[in-house]
Structure 1
Amino acid sequence: MENNMVGWFEIPVDNMDRAKRFYEAVFEIKLSVHDFGGTLMGWFPFNETKPGATGTLIKQESYIPSQKGTLVYFNSIDVKNELSRVIPAGGKIYQPKTQISPEHGYMAVFIDSEGNRIALHSKS
């Protein structure tokens, strides 16, 4: 296989405006929202010259926010940075910054504005 296994992810939302505000506040980014015949997608920024997958927030009737499904990890310089913005943006801390191991760094998990469980990973 020429590429890494993950090429795209979709995070279900009930309210695109609320979710867009949440993710923009937590990650200090801008999402662009697109309407594909009633399916709303909030695209995360993507730079083709950097490694890693990109994805979208998605509002469509067959997508249901959940804390029970697949866990998406967002890369971070230090997970404490994003965690500090989760509660003010309307989310909840599910697991605080926790060391995985000295070799693998740290992780944390939060619940977003829509009820999804989302993880963070950093080396420090």
Structure 2
Amino acid sequence: MVNWFEIPVTNMERAQKFYETVFKVSIKVQNLGGLLYGWFPPKPAAENSTGALIQYESYIPSTTDGVLVYFSSEDVDEELAIIPKAGGTVVQGKTQISPDTGYMAVFIDSEGNRIALFSKN
């Protein structure tokens, strides 16, 4: 049911570098009249949603409040190995949800947002 998400940032350049490094993607930044958007690349499958990094005065990063966004992964261990080197902090390592469901992990990004990962492996 999720269609779009926005991750608050205080430094677009730093956040862009962090997410490009961790997820090996290219993020296009656009200035929309003082509101900076860093567009995540869309996935072609209809069941996938996409979103953006957003820098604006009313968007405030948080390590504890708000919605927790889960990024899909082939194996969360791959991103967990990169996150500290890219400027983030792993706060919950790879944890099995159940044998049928898969695994999750939680990290704090370069901007102070709590973000999660999910993989079947």
With the length of structure 2 as denominator, give the TM-score of the two structures. 0.96
Counterpart of 1:10 in structure 2 is 6
Shift of 1:51: 2.4
Q: Flag as ranges the 4+ runs of structure 1 deviating above 4 A.
A: none
Counterpart of 2:59 in structure 1 is 63
**Residue 113 (1) aligns with residue 110 (2):** yes
Instruction: Indicate the percent of aligned positions where both proteins have the same amino acid.
Output: 61
Q: Using the alignment, how far apart are the partners of 1:77 and 1:97 within structure 2?
A: 12
Counterpart of 2:20 in structure 1 is 24
Residue aligned with 2:81, SS: helix
Q: 2:71 aligns with which of 71, 74, 79?
A: 74
Q: Using the alignment, how far apart are the partners of 1:47 and 1:104 within structure 2?
A: 22
Q: 2:29 aligns with which of 20, 27, 33?
A: 33
**Residue 88 (1) aligns with residue 85 (2):** yes
With the length of structure 1 as denominator, give the TM-score of the two structures. 0.94
Counterpart of 1:98 in structure 2 is 95
Q: CA RMSD in A?
A: 0.9
Q: Using the alignment, how far apart are the partners of 1:98 and 1:36 within structure 2?
A: 39
Shift of 1:69: 1.4
Counterpart of 2:42 in structure 1 is 46
Structure 1: runs of 5 or more not aligned:
none
Structure 2: runs of 5 or more not aligned:
none
CA deviations on 1:74-111 (whole Å, 9 max, x unpaired) are 00000000111000000000100000000110000000
Residue aligned with 2:66, SS: coil
Size of the aligned set, in residue pairs, is 120
